[in-house]
Structure 1
Amino acid sequence: AVPTLAETGYAGAPSRSWYGLFTPAGTPKPIVDKLAREVAAIFADATFRERHLTARSLVSAINTPDEFAAEIRRDRALAQQVVKAAGLEPQ
């Protein structure tokens, strides 16, 4: 079994959940931008937010495709640091 981070001595590792919309690599930027605008418009609707976010205790953090990509890069770098600091080996 793989030990938990706390069991390896690295308690308190930051953790969060998120959802994102992805497109295939190479999708033209105008299409990505249009999708981003449409999703932002949906999330701007109060009825949608109440029914699908607030009712599930979720918080919306709409950002641009470039901001989302940067966030994923930061999460990946952090995960790599945590794995290295905990002395874990891929299995």
Structure 2
Amino acid sequence: MSTAIKAGHIRPIFVTSAKRQPLFPEIPTLHESGFRGPVAEEWWGILAPARTPRPLVNKLNAEITRIFNEPDVQERIRKLGIDYIGSAPEGFGTFMQQEAVKWEKVIKNAGIKPE
């Protein structure tokens, strides 16, 4: 999408994240534009089956963190406008639970029913 924005093919009116995006700092946030509601940000994670042995989870987390902290990987991520945070498995689990609660409220308040 950044290519289309830079080319002038689309003109975003706001971003739904909590803060302005590094690639497009001139685009205000939803809240700065006067709208209230939940912050909606993209996020990614790497998951393992529920009963994966803890030592293996820790090893995977350490290797993934090492790779994502390499300077060339950081530069590529930055150029994509991604705000890499990284976390321990427990922190990511807590984050996913918080997201589920947040969006459950939004769906319920909007009266959205599964079809």
Structure-2 residue corresponding to 1:82: 106
Normalising by structure 2, we get a TM-score of: 0.66
Q: Return the offset for 1:14.
A: 2.1
For normalisation by structure 1, the TM-score amounts to 0.82
- 2:39 corresponds in structure 1 to 14
Identity of aligned residues (%): 29
- 1: distance between equivalents of 2:66 and 2:74? 11
Structure with more relative contact order (C-alpha pairs < 8 Å, separation 6 or more)? 1
* Unmatched 5+ stretches in structure 2: 1-35
Query: CA-to-partner distance for each residue in 1:48-73, whole Å, 9 max, x for gaps?
Result: 1112x012111111100000000000
Is 1:40 matched with 2:62? no
Q: 1:31 matched to which residue of 2?
A: 56
Map 1:58-73 to 2 at 5 A. Answer: 58-73=82-97
User: Partner letter of residue 15 of structure 1?
Assistant: A
Aligned residues: 80
3-state SS in 2 of match to 1:27:
coil
> Which ranges in structure 1 are unaligned for 5 or more consecutive residues?
1-10
Which has the larger helix fraction? 1
